[in-house]
Structure 1
Amino acid sequence: MVNVAIAGGTGGIGRAIAEAIKDDPRHQTIILSRKTLGNESVGLPIVEVDYQSVDALVAVLEKHQIHTVISTLALHIHGVGQAQLNLIEAANKSATTKRFVASSWAVRALEKYLNLLPHGYQHTAAYAALDKTGLEWTAFNLGWLLEYYGMPHVKTYVPQTTFVVDMASKRASIPGDGKQKMTFTYSRDVAKFVVAALDLPRWEKDTIVIGDKMTWEEFVKLAEEARGEKFTVVYDSVDKLKSGEITELPGQVAAYSYFPKEWVQSLFSVFGYWVTEGVFDLPEEKALNKKFPHIKVTTVKEMLDQSWKQK
């Protein structure tokens, strides 16, 4: 049994992890949050913290005798990276804290790839900081979240994101030639592996979990079967992606009311380039699935059929 703190556990993938761990009586878990009000439905104690104060964070970790910190902080938001750096420093100073899960929740890509992202520096800084600590740490590699293609018909706390395939509009803009393998994993399945990993005697820096793997061309075929008609498909060349451009999908246009168009285009063009480089093709032989074969994962076909057939 270990005491666990989830940073950012009131929403997103952190909420999925919180729900998975609260039913395990072996672990005592708290959620670290900037605010405590309005989040009682999570079902775990919520502790208000000041991410700007390392000393205050140390005090919270030691008060609750936290052994493992799981960070799910949203590093795509500018400035949040410093909050995680402070949490890393606090965990290293805490007399009780021994393990740290860095906020990644996609892939821990090589630095040359992370540096292409507008917020990539927040990830590289965290990994560099962790390497300088005495903490045992890991980052979960899961590819791309599968529920993005089941929304709004699937249970998730992750906000809508449209990448490559737009299920609602029956369109796709495929990076490169569409023949590179992708990894897709449902956040609720990831959460089960996170809880299971707490029992491992040793952590690698990369923890891999795999829900399903296939090419984007194969994915589109399953999407067409689920929706019952052909999709409009275009291919974005590597040169186009490297120039920071993508073929817009209706779901991405809708995001412009929340994020600048240039930021959205830049982000997804980088992810598209990563696809062509095989960054999302995670090695099955290293996957945590092999250590915990009893954990059932959701396949792409299951997600698409359950979410979209007869709709």
Structure 2
Amino acid sequence: MSAMRIAVAGTSGLARIIARQIHESTSHQLLILSRSPPADLVAQGYQCQIVDYYDSSSIRHSLMGVDTIISTVTGNEQIRLIEGAVASGVRRFAPAEFEGLPRLRPQGDPLDRGRAAALALLQVHYSAWIHSTVFVCGILYERFAVGGMRTHCIGVNTGYGNEGDYILDARNMTATVPGYDSEGNLSSLCMTSARDVGKFVVRALDLPSWPKEMSMCGERMTVSTLINTVQACRGRTFNAPVWQNPQGLQYELTLAQMAGEISTQWRLATLIATAEGRYDYGAPGYLNTQFPDITPVTFQAWFQQNWAAVPRA
């Protein structure tokens, strides 16, 4: 496909990974949209455009000549960006999803962060004017990183971006394990490293058409296997891990709601989503099949490298 003008909205860690892949491995013209000037990116030679998401003229000016938008912004800012993209004649839009299948999210999901409203605009209200897709990557490996996702500037505002916020604390070897679904079956999840997400997303830019969803998968495993993998990598066993099903987690969530513990509610909501299979869509993913030359890093290899410098005891 001929060179296009691609806009990446946001400067989070995932946005930077995608932008770097576009910059280094394609001939597409890259534009980074940001609410404030990212001095480091400007210094590296990236074309950055300051945008006011609440000023329609600012958005339209920023999107002049843009063919495709990859969004990593959520909430009202993304809604305004979608409206501006339609008004500016942008051809394709990928909203800030990058998790499990949207259709598995329940109505009123506390983890939604305005994403359902964005999808409704793209897939229903504006579907005749703009093409869209959802990039489905499951759980990012970076949730299990030293320091958590926040050290990679990912998920800073989600409420569960710190080390140990999701399933397990690999430093202190404690865990709350959403190991079973409501029928007692072992729960599974799909996971992908942020770097591999960037590779797949950028290769998808050249596909002649976009389906409504494009999944990718670094590795699919049961939550039990995840626990065993981390134990093997750390050379330690978890200290009395608490195994839970959706009913037990829902009870804990109710207690957190009664106590007004917002951060605990968010963390428990992600565990409930895991136990219910919302991050399990099978492997290989659609993009794995489309681009078999991309070999994603396995979770064990990624985890060993990420935690190599951290003492085991």
Normalised by the shorter chain, which TM-score bucket? 0.7 to 0.9
Matches within 5 A, 1:68-107: 68-73=68-73, 75=74, 81-95=75-89, 97-107=90-100
Give the Cα–Cα distance (whole angstroms) in 1 for the partners of residues 79 and 307 of structure 2: 41
Q: Do structure 1's residue 278 and structure 2's residue 277 form an aligned pair?
A: yes
Instruction: For residue 2 of structure 1, report the CA deviation from its aligned partner.
Output: 1.0
**Which residue of structure 1 lines up, in the alignment, with residue 178 of structure 2?**
175
Q: 2:116 aligns with which of 100, 119, 124?
A: 124
Q: Please give the secondary structure, in 1, of the residue aligned with 2:146.
A: coil
Tell me the percent identity. Answer: 28
CA contact (8 A) 1:7 1:71 kept: yes
Q: 1:151 to 1:307 in 2, by over 3 A?
A: same
Instruction: For residue 283 of structure 1, report the CA deviation from its aligned partner.
Output: 2.8
Give the Cα–Cα distance (whole angstroms) in 2 for the partners of residues 235 and 114 of structure 1: 26
TM-score by length of 1: 0.85
Instruction: For residue 243 of structure 1, report the CA deviation from its aligned partner.
Output: 3.5
Give the Cα–Cα distance (whole angstroms) in 1 for the partners of residues 9 and 32 of structure 2: 6
Structure 1 stretches lacking a partner, 5+ long: 76-80, 249-259
CA contact (8 A) 1:16 1:156 kept: no
CA contact (8 A) 2:146 2:307 kept: no
Q: Please give the secondary structure, in 2, of the residue aligned with 1:103.
A: coil
Deviations 1:242-297 (A, max 9, x none): 2453999xxxxxxxxxxx97222222222212212211112325521011111121
Matches within 5 A, 1:167-206: 167-177=170-180, 179-206=186-213
Q: Please give the secondary structure, in 2, of the residue aligned with 1:113.
A: coil
**Which residue of structure 2 lines up, in the alignment, with residue 253 of structure 1?**
none
Give the Cα–Cα distance (whole angstroms) in 2 for the partners of residues 176 and 26 of structure 1: 45
Give the Cα–Cα distance (whole angstroms) in 2 for the partners of residues 124 and 211 of structure 1: 25
Give the Cα–Cα distance (whole angstroms) in 2 for the partners of residues 246 and 164 of structure 1: 18
TM-score by length of 2: 0.85
**Which residue of structure 1 lines up, in the alignment, with residue 46 of structure 2?**
44
- The amino acid of 1:115's aligned partner reads G
Q: 1:110 aligns with which of 103, 126, 132?
A: 103
Q: Please give the secondary structure, in 2, of the residue aligned with 1:6.
A: strand
Q: Name which of structure 1's ranges 128-137 and 35-44 shifts more when overlaid on structure 2.
A: 35-44
Q: 1:37 to 1:184 in 2, by over 3 A?
A: closer
**Which residue of structure 2 lines up, in the alignment, with residue 60 of structure 1?**
62
Give the Cα–Cα distance (whole angstroms) in 2 for the partners of residues 221 and 111 of structure 1: 27
**Which residue of structure 1 lines up, in the alignment, with residue 246 of structure 2?**
238
Q: Name which of structure 1's ranges 164-173 and 102-111 shifts more when overlaid on structure 2.
A: 102-111
Q: Name which of structure 1's ranges 218-227 and 20-29 shifts more when overlaid on structure 2.
A: 20-29
Give the Cα–Cα distance (whole angstroms) in 2 for the partners of residues 41 and 152 of structure 1: 27
Count matched residues.
289
Deviations 1:133-178 (A, max 9, x none): 1111011111111022232599844254320011111111101438
- The amino acid of 1:4's aligned partner reads I
- The amino acid of 1:299's aligned partner reads T
Give the CA RMSD over aligned residues. 2.5
Structure 2 stretches lacking a partner, 5+ long: none
